[in-house]
Amino acid sequence: MEKALKLQGEFLVNVSHELKTPLNVIFATAQLFKMYCDTGSLDDKKDSIVKYIDSIKQNSYRLSKIINNIVDLSKIEAGFFKLNLSNNNVVEVVEEIVMSVTTLTDSKGLNIIFDTDSEENIIACDSEKIERIVLNLISNAIKFSHAGDEIFVDVTSNDKFVEISVRDNGIGIEEKDLDMIFDRFKQVDKSLSRNAEGTGIGLSLVKSIVELHGGSINVESEFGKGSKFTVKLPKVKVLHENMIYSSNVRSKDENIQVELSDVYS
Ligand code: ADP
């Protein structure tokens, strides 16, 4: 109980910091715009205003991500988080996600490579949630890699399972920390991930969503050499596809922007 309370306390401090950073940017930009209005310099500053609007958008995405994650974790805990299962080609879902992040990885000097042992693997999954899982793992791979590094996203399968793996050759994770990174609110030593934003929710959410699919997730890592996260999903199909309900009111593009909001700069 004491440990849980301490972790929760650390989480609140982290979350407040994570919420405050984008809020401060938005607030400061509002003040700047007001100053431009007061001094009648709106027209002169048009170019920089366009840039500031982008930054407001980016920081709003970051706020959205943190809030979504907190709400989803609470839903999972309360048992209200529902999957929208239908039979989907998981290879295509993952490949599309990889394609959608190449502009970002290019801009960071990272090379992302997709590979699969089969063009089609149709399984029962919630494609929107699978996208979220993969984006979360890719987002971490980007956060904890350096320019020039590579990220490999592979989809392989056997009779029983489809495996999606995201491997990077970034900073890696110390063995003593491997067990706890899926714990709620847990981040490895802040000094190592200083350049990275985060609340420590991502992986715990990923794990819960994978488990709701009847799957599992594991990590292999060597400190200083890189990490590999493997998601194992059972090869099953649903008889009754749930296509009617969709919680997703945002466009797919926007989902990607939200999920990757802490690695855009
Ligand atoms: P956060 O939002 O803080 O990134 P996560 O739950 O996604 O939270 O990750 C928890 C911690 O696991 C991170 O803070 C980081 O220390 C470690 N981690 C996750 N993915 C990687 C990776 N690919 N390489 C190195 N460390 C990682």
pLDDT digits (tens, 9 = 90+) for 72-117: 988 998 998 999 999 999 999 999 999 999 999 999 999 999 999 9
How remote is the CA of residue 182 from the centroid of ligand 1, in Å? 9
**Ligand 1 proximity of 144 Cβ (cutoff 6 Å):** yes
| 28 or 252, higher pLDDT | 28
Contact criterion met (CB below 8 Å) for 151 and 167 = yes
Determine the angle formed by the axes of helices 127-143 and 202-212, rounding to 10 degrees.
150
**Ligand 1 proximity of 203 Cβ (cutoff 6 Å):** yes
How remote is the CA of residue 53 from the centroid of ligand 1, in Å? 29
Alpha-carbon gap, residue 262 to 265, rounded angstroms: 8
Residue 68 in tokens: 């979504």
**Ligand 1 proximity of 199 Cβ (cutoff 6 Å):** yes
How remote is the CA of residue 184 from the centroid of ligand 1, in Å? 11
pLDDT at 250: 64
The CA distances from residue 216 to 35, 38, 70, 116, 208, in Å, are: 53, 57, 21, 19, 9
pLDDT at 171: 96
DSSP element (H, E) containing 226? strand 226-234
Of 64, 69, 82, 104, the C-alpha closest to 203 is: 69
How remote is the CA of residue 89 from the centroid of ligand 1, in Å? 28
Task: Over range 180-187, report the average pLDDT.
Answer: 77
**Ligand 1 proximity of 226 Cβ (cutoff 6 Å):** no
pTM metric for this prediction: 0.86
Contact criterion met (CB below 8 Å) for 165 and 218 = no
Residue 29 in tokens: 């930009």
Q: How confident is the model at residue 195 (pLDDT cuts 50, 70, 90)?
A: very low
| 161 or 198, higher pLDDT | 161
How remote is the CA of residue 149 from the centroid of ligand 1, in Å? 17
**Ligand 1 proximity of 193 Cβ (cutoff 6 Å):** yes
**Ligand 1 proximity of 168 Cβ (cutoff 6 Å):** yes
**Ligand 1 proximity of 187 Cβ (cutoff 6 Å):** yes
pLDDT at 10: 78
Task: State yes or no: pLDDT of 245 exceeds 70.
Answer: no
Give the position, in ligand 1's atom list, of the atom nearest the Cα of 201.
6
